[in-house]
Structure 1
């Protein structure tokens, strides 16, 4: 069968390769690969981030998955034809206290593995196998939009952790700001609207489909400087990884606000910061800033539920471009109107 493979750190190595068919197993789901999503992590793997599976010289890429079950173990809860996606991270072999409790997204020793990223082949192949406990059954009405579950799981965790922090007091947030209108930001905005919040989305460009996608959620789209928005958000889901913006956010939020950071900075920017004043404001205002990465099974299930309650037509508009397996490299390079690029594993 065919798969998209790469040697991490060797951009010229990306391509479609012939790999062995999955060996029959009575304990694993056999899945027909339909789509994989492309995100910045995939580009990072091509450029150098990522780890080969032990004993292999190439990595099957793809961590945002969608497939249909071809064969399922008896009693697994799955059946042929089920629409499924695969969880990305696996617990470390020790395991650490977090991994031992199914919270591998909080792995304490860094020995976790991740499909398509770290020491495990991904989902970018025509067929793949998965343990039932790491597969998520999706609402069949989602169709191809089910490929959005992995990015949705990231913000499902962000919202879940944010709400846990708000539980420290009796008041509840009303105004939410999402910074960045990529797929993660748009899904974060969707989940904020689902929670009944007054949602605002800030991005650097106002061209393309993003502003209308935000408006069609019932949220408000902004560009420009965060200080000029006239907002004091109670909660911020930060999806850009832009360091200077992260610092600015701590100065514009309401008292007792929560800021969740989901973006990863790729640059080496230095900005002058009045650290003492910022510290004083955060202490006196009970501000919480925290980071969130990856997702547990519970977060994937939360994401599946959120997608099932979303407007499928709106979700479908997030998938702005499809490429065949042979054009995976082209999919790494965003076009001006791109939101989410996916690879069709059947083409």
Structure 2
């Protein structure tokens, strides 16, 4: 079979490799790869900034945003050939820590978790792959063209879950959400906000193309003014920060409504400094009972909720998120940034 592989931490080592077909274990599904999504984490691995191969191997099969169709399934697994499935990314650590032992492996305390296509486990960017049936989630068959959005949707669903858990420490009826960044995570967060019945605002620097069009199609308000101006105007109850840009993060924190919650899902680059009035931020957080939380990864519960969220979404809108689809033999183009990119997908069966 063909698979996209890298040799971490060597930059520029991406290759289309020929590997033996996988043999499923007694508790595994054999899956025909349909597609994988490309995200910033994949590009970091490609640039040698992140990632690790399975123990005893020099190369890692890339791809954590999966979509496939079951070819073989063990009896009583709950799956049958033909099922459309996504493989969960993270696996609990072997100790396990308390969080992993409770099934909350997205909150691993000791960092010994592994992740498909990222950390010590081969990913899903191959024509065939295996996955434990306990770490596979079935999708509605009509999501064949958009189901590759499942993993980022699971990240978004978790972020919203965390926001509600924090908010419910007291009376909590949010009205307005500001999403900063109109990439896949930001737009999916906006989609989820509309599903929750909120007044959704999306902010991005881009003024034309698919991003504002997709935001408007949700019924959201699209902004491209500076974040402090927009935040001061709308006073959001919730901010989901998906850019990772330091200045955006702190401007968003400084202009929420009282009891505001800022959820950080964008990862910032290190080594960049900005002037910050830490005293003013501290004063606001304390006097207004505000909260700042970080959220990353997702567990099985979030994947199952994401499957429901995608099934409830407008399929044409979801298709609009995928701005480029490339066959496997044109894999290199998928890692090149195009001006109007939102989500780039590599198809594995062509």
TM interval, short-chain normalised: over 0.9
Structure 1 runs of 4+ off > 3 angstroms?
Answer: none
Q: Cα deviations across residues 71-105 of structure 1 (Å, max 9, x unaligned)? A: 11110100110000000000001000000111111
Structure 1 residue 5 corresponds to structure 2 residue 5: yes
- Distance change (3 Å), C-alpha of 1:122 and 1:332: same
Matches within 5 A, 1:222-241: 222-229=223-230, 230-241=233-244
Match of 1:331 among 329, 334, 345: 334
Decide whether the 8 Å contact of 1:7 with 1:58 is kept in 2: yes
Match in the other structure for 2:107: 106
- Distance change (3 Å), C-alpha of 1:212 and 1:24: closer
**How far apart, in 1, do the equivalents of 2:340 and 2:31 lie?**
32
> How far did 1:169 drift?
1.3
> How far did 1:24 drift?
4.1
In angstroms, what is the RMSD of aligned CA positions? 1.0
Match in the other structure for 2:66: 65
3-state DSSP class of the match of 2:178?
A: strand
Match in the other structure for 1:299: 302
Q: Cα deviations across residues 97-143 of structure 1 (Å, max 9, x unaligned)? A: 00011111110100000000000000011000011110010011111
Match in the other structure for 1:257: 260
Decide whether the 8 Å contact of 1:66 with 1:86 is kept in 2: yes
Match in the other structure for 1:82: 83
> How far did 1:295 drift?
0.4
3-state DSSP class of the match of 1:125?
A: coil
Structure 1 residue 345 corresponds to structure 2 residue 339: no
Structure 1: segments with no counterpart, 5+ residues = none
> How far did 1:69 drift?
0.3
Decide whether the 8 Å contact of 1:91 with 1:104 is kept in 2: yes
Structure 2: segments with no counterpart, 5+ residues = none
Match in the other structure for 2:210: 209
Match in the other structure for 1:23: 23
Structure 1 residue 310 corresponds to structure 2 residue 313: yes
User: How many residue pairs get matched?
Assistant: 347
Match in the other structure for 1:179: 180
Q: Which moved further from structure 2: 285-294 or 168-177?
A: 168-177
3-state DSSP class of the match of 2:197?
A: coil
